[in-house]
Amino acid sequence: MAEFARLDVAEGIGTLRLDRPKMNALDAQMQREILAAAREADERDDVAAVVLYGGERVFAAGADIKEMASMDYAQMLTHGQLLQEFTRAVASIGKPTVAAITGFALGGGCEVALAADVRFCAANAKLGQPEILLGIIPGAGGTQRLARLVGPATAKELIYSGRFVDADEALRIGLVDAVHPAEAVYDEAVAWARQFVGGPALALRVAKDVIDRGLEVDLQTGLEIERAGFTGLFATQDQKAGMTSFIDNGPGQASFSGR
């Protein structure tokens, strides 16, 4: 039974809940539990979309510094692998994902949010990568995902300085996609996720995979990745159902089976 991270499922929406009081500090146990919950969310047919949520007061204030402070190079070789694996597992959920950010999302907490497809934050949220203030750099994907999201110059400024950004600045630079009142941010994230319940699960999975893989390659290779994904969907029942429904009933009326 997971102690600090779990997947709660209701009406097709999976909530990957971070729950290690008081600040959701991401120790190794919690990282492993997030990894397991992310894989569960990816595999379950009754989960159409996933909300990442740390609770009403905080998303995650970062890695557990007390746990890491005494580690030497040899120990960090192993732990550093886990840091990358658990955020990769979140990023690899083959379904739409949204981070619902309240309070602090710092260091590893920001890196978890960066692994989601989109980010909604509360008006009182603070985000940042303050690892430089500890004499290190982000190690759970922050240097790579942040630069791809907000551009290299902005990412460098944030990582070099270690400063926090508030909700308005996060929205302006593209670090988050929407700002909501603190009491509404989770409900807004769930509402966003709900639109995918009953949707074409295979097409959504392929769309996410093609976009993510295409970002890593040149345009021509990306177009080939797109072509393969596009043509492959013509082997699915959902493609037949979607196109037949469009011809018979117009757009937006299809029922999908996820096959």
- The position carrying tokens 């949707």 is 199
pLDDT in tens, 170-216: 999 999 999 999 999 999 999 999 999 999 999 999 999 999 999 99
Can you tell me the distance from the alpha carbon of 14 to that of 103, in angstroms, rounded to the nearest whole number?
A: 21
Quick one: which of 2, 32, 37, 1 has its CA closest to 16? 37
Task: Report yes or no: 127 and 110 within 8 Å, Cβ to Cβ.
Answer: yes
Q: Looking at the predicted structure, is the pLDDT value of residue 1 above 90?
A: no
Give the pLDDT confidence score for residue 35 in this predicted structure.
Answer: 98
pTM of the model: 0.94
Cα–Cα distance between 25 and 67 in angstroms, integer?
Answer: 10
Task: Give the pLDDT score at 91.
Answer: 98
Give residue 200's Cα distance to chain centre. Answer: 20
* C-alpha–C-alpha distance, residues 97 and 56, integer Å: 19
Q: Which domains does the chain have, with CATH numbers?
A: 5-194 (3.90.226.10), 201-249 (1.10.12.10)
Active site residues: 111, 131
Q: What is the pLDDT of residues 223-252, one digit of tens each?
A: 999 999 999 999 999 999 999 999 999 888
Instruction: Flag whether pLDDT at 80 surpasses 90.
Output: no
The string of pLDDT tens digits covering residues 11-34 is 999 999 999 999 999 999 999 999
pLDDT for 24-74, tens place per residue?
999 999 999 999 999 999 999 999 999 999 999 999 998 888 888 898 999
User: Which of 54-68, 111-125, 130-144 shows the lowest mean pLDDT across its residues?
Assistant: 54-68
Check residue 64 and give its pLDDT: 86
The 10 Å Cβ neighbour count of residue 5 is 27
Average pLDDT, the chain: 96
Per-residue pLDDT of 139-158, as tens digits, reads: 999 999 999 999 999 999 99
